Structure 1
């Protein structure tokens, strides 16, 4: 049996769509439902009602599942907890098991300067392993 080629398929006339001839309604819908929706709970047994509820809850959970939203919420929770811990340890004064807790001024200073990275006193210091700023040419590159 020969299969129709792309050229033959393109040459065929287009089938008239059902939605263009008449809008879909319950009466002319070609996709009939297998079951009546929603089911009549008075006719179902207790076990069938429970099974239906479990299935419905599972479908609702799957329909509302959003991985990007869940990931965003987890990151927001992580940032909130981290910010609360930083504030608690570096800036707050409280009593902890009967002992007064007050973070040291040096610790607060380091926290304000991102632990020494942006410290005004150390701004122009260079690391020991950093290359020279303007290396002097020892040998000419071209003769």
Structure 2
């Protein structure tokens, strides 16, 4: 493996690097198979329609950005959810001729994440929770 590597390093390149570096239309080794854009005057109506469909499809595929679309959808969802929460818990408005005002208790629960972070109940323990300091049992010898 090592002798092959040394031998390949010692060989000269097939083309000089200076000839390959400035790629232009004239010296591009990768020639296009078809002329683009095609001359539409030489094509039939059906071929023109086919090219237009292909071009439109490629443009839409190239312009798609799934991550951006997903982010926009999440932003819309968060905005709508926040607007509904604000509307139901904090705003006062008239609904079909009746005034709507959320109760203070509802606002208090909404402020404390529905009782989870309520300062009055912060240190309460659930009935099924284990003891904080269980009594130590003597170890058997």
Q: Output the CA distance in 1 between the equivalents of 2:12 and 2:135.
A: 77
Q: Output the CA distance in 2 between the equivalents of 1:43 and 1:93.
A: 69
- SS of the residue corresponding to residue 100 of structure 1 reads strand
Q: Report whether the alignment pairs 1:128 with 2:124.
A: no
CA 1:16/1:93 → structure 2, altered by over 3 Å: closer, same or farther? Answer: farther
The Cα shift of 1:66 comes to 2.6
CA 1:36/1:88 → structure 2, altered by over 3 Å: closer, same or farther? Answer: same
Q: Which residue of 1 aligns with 2:19?
A: 21
TM-score when normalising by structure 1: 0.78
Q: Output the CA distance in 1 between the equivalents of 2:85 and 2:19.
A: 66
The Cα shift of 1:36 comes to 2.1
- SS of the residue corresponding to residue 116 of structure 1 reads coil
CA 1:29/1:127 → structure 2, altered by over 3 Å: closer, same or farther? Answer: same
- SS of the residue corresponding to residue 95 of structure 1 reads strand
Q: Which residue of 2 aligns with 1:69?
A: 68
Structure 1 window deviating more from structure 2 (13-22 vs 91-100): it is 13-22
TM-score when normalising by structure 2: 0.79
CA 1:41/1:19 → structure 2, altered by over 3 Å: closer, same or farther? Answer: farther
Task: Provide the alpha-carbon RMSD of the alignment.
Answer: 2.4
Q: Report whether the alignment pairs 1:140 with 2:138.
A: yes
Q: Output the CA distance in 1 between the equivalents of 2:4 and 2:73.
A: 51
The Cα shift of 1:42 comes to 4.4
Alignment of 1:27-106 (within 5 A): 27-106=26-105
CA 1:77/1:38 → structure 2, altered by over 3 Å: closer, same or farther? Answer: same
Structure 2: runs of 5 or more not aligned: none
